[in-house]
Amino acid sequence: MKVLAIYGSPRKEGNTARMMDAALSEFPREAEIHRIYLGELNYSGCGPCRECKTTGNCVIDDDMQEVFREMVWAEVILFGSPSQFSDVSNEIKRLMERTWWMKGVLRNKIGGYVVTGRRYMESTLNTLHAFMLRHRMILGGSGALGFTFTEMGSIDIDPLAIRDAHGTGMRLVELYELIYGGRKEEKND
């Protein structure tokens, strides 16, 4: 099981990361989990070039190229985003824009997310849903929302946040087993 965890908060050990880690703890020991902390990377959003329309690839030469390779590799992709001005973080938004070239590449990959914030979170969810559906990903979990203030660790005031994050992890594993269960072994027979 190839799992890519995309941490979308600039704070590596913030509230969103706590929920991501809870979700990931549900994956079986043999799962390969790659973690990407977007706040540590240098990359832009989509620019004016439209080169991908002719080349079929994103030609911007920055850290997002490694993220693309990881997204292609993964079977399950878990996103984590704080709500920022009623939407996903700019780290996640820039990533989303940059996937414009990935027509069909993410199709049927299993996707899930965790989100933190306190208010106006509906559009954050809409953005994540729209992204995954547009890429024809299989949206797993009903989404884990953590009620947080801006302080690190404030996720602890929401007793359901970590529980729901575990639930998202469990649902992604369930979907993986439903889709891939037994098929890999059969191939080796």
Cβ atoms of residues 6 and 36 within 8 Å: yes
- CA-nearest of 116, 171, 118, 122 to 142 is 171
Site for ligand FMN in 84-103 (CB under 6 A): 84-86
**Closer residue to ligand FMN in complex, CB, 82/143:** 82
- Rounded CA-CA distance 127/93 in Å is 9
**Nearest distance from C-beta of residue 150 to ligand FMN, angstroms:** 4
Footprint on residues 118-137 left by ligand FMN (CB under 6 A): 118-121
**Minimum distance from CB of 71 to ligand FMN (Å)?**
21
Closest CA to 87 of 136, 39, 129, 31: 129
> H or E stretch including 133?
helix 122-134
Q: What would the x/- binding string for ligand FMN be over residues 144 to 163, using CB under 6 A? A: ----x-x-x-----------
Q: How far is the CB of 77 from ligand FMN (least distance, A)?
A: 18
Give the shortest CB-62-to-ligand FMN separation in angstroms: 23
Tokens representing 67 are 């993220």
